[in-house]
Amino acid sequence: MTSYKVLEFYSGIGGMHWALQGAGYHNTEVTAMEINDVANRVYKTNFPSIKLLQRNITSLSINEFETWKPDMLLMSPPCQPYTRVGLKRGTSDPRSFSFHHILDILGASKHKPNYFLLENVKGFEEFGTEKLHATLRLCGYHFQEFLLSPHQFGIPNSRLRFYLLAKQNHLPFSFPVQSEIWTTMPLRKESVATFKIGSILDEEAAEDPTLLIPENILLKHADILDIVGPESERSCCFTKAYSRFVEGTGSILCPLGLRKVEEVFKDMPGSTEKITSLKSLKLRYFSPKEVSRLMSFPDEFCIPPSVTRKQAYQLLGNSINVSVVSQLIKLLCKNDPG
């Protein structure tokens, strides 16, 4: 298989690198750029020999870029400018400046990488693509956009994300490129969940009392918790606020199963006995290891002990689904020479 020189922007905990390996590119030369020192600690733990640059992307020069001559650009820019919580300020948000610097470098450089892959939140397609499209066309790329979620790939987790695949015009895609955003994967049948939540559960997490939902949250917010069981074939998107906020940040596990949940909620006693009934469900947070499995990180993926659980949730919430991106990298490079 062809070995590429890859430049991985906003490299985080190495999700794109794992996706490259999942796509079969094990001997790829990767240069990664990330300013977050905690994320870099995780990345270095998993890829000790990686060329990892802890610096602001806006410090990247055209000369450096042309010296490196990457074949492929991978990136997941900050999502806050394109989210509801981030006020959807798009290009006017300072957090988008580094991304626009990348586009400026690409536009001005004599070297044009053959491949380009971008991941971001749903909403990016509305507020973040005008300059991106213009730059790619100016630089001789054709591209296809997608909105995809892991559950379409047999993974029991929802994480709808925007993806853009681009390649130089002389390299044809293996499918007909269209101007509209695709919501399915070309050349691939849709899949139902092929495994249940129970298959990713960790024995150590099951015995960890610090993962149990606190009593005050049970009393105040039990009705809005998204509860799943070992038999479930779904879970909600895990965000960087998981375990800090209750609603919309990720699912909660009932190890006893959903039937037990239904029984307890159906016969919920008065307030004096309510907490006893709720505690009997043994509701708990998914551990970082379990969240990483739902995001398709391999079991050898390691978060060092120096990283706190809160930090681990934040890093995972900002990362990608490795399996989905692996499939997209395969699609991007399919049938190309070499």
Q: Which residues are catalytic?
A: 79
Q: For residue 33, with 0-12 CB atoms within 10 Å meaning exposed, 13-18 middle and 19 or more buried, which class applies?
A: buried
Beta bridge partners of 145: 164
C-alpha distance from residue 144 to each of 75, 329, 332 (Å): 16, 13, 10
Beta bridge partners of 9: 33
Neighbours of 180 (CB within 10 A): 7
DSSP string spanning 267-292?
T---HHHHHHHHHTTT-EEPPHHHHH
**Residue 45 backbone class (left: φ over 0; alpha: ψ -120 to 50; beta: rest):** alpha
Report the C-alpha gap between 91 and 6 in whole angstroms: 26
C-alpha distance from residue 64 to each of 111, 183, 296 (Å): 11, 36, 33
Q: The tokens of 15 are what? A: 């999700």
What strands lie across the sheet with 227-228, from one edge to the other?
227-228, 252-253, 284-285
Q: Are strands 115-121 and 72-75 parallel, antiparallel or unpaired?
A: parallel
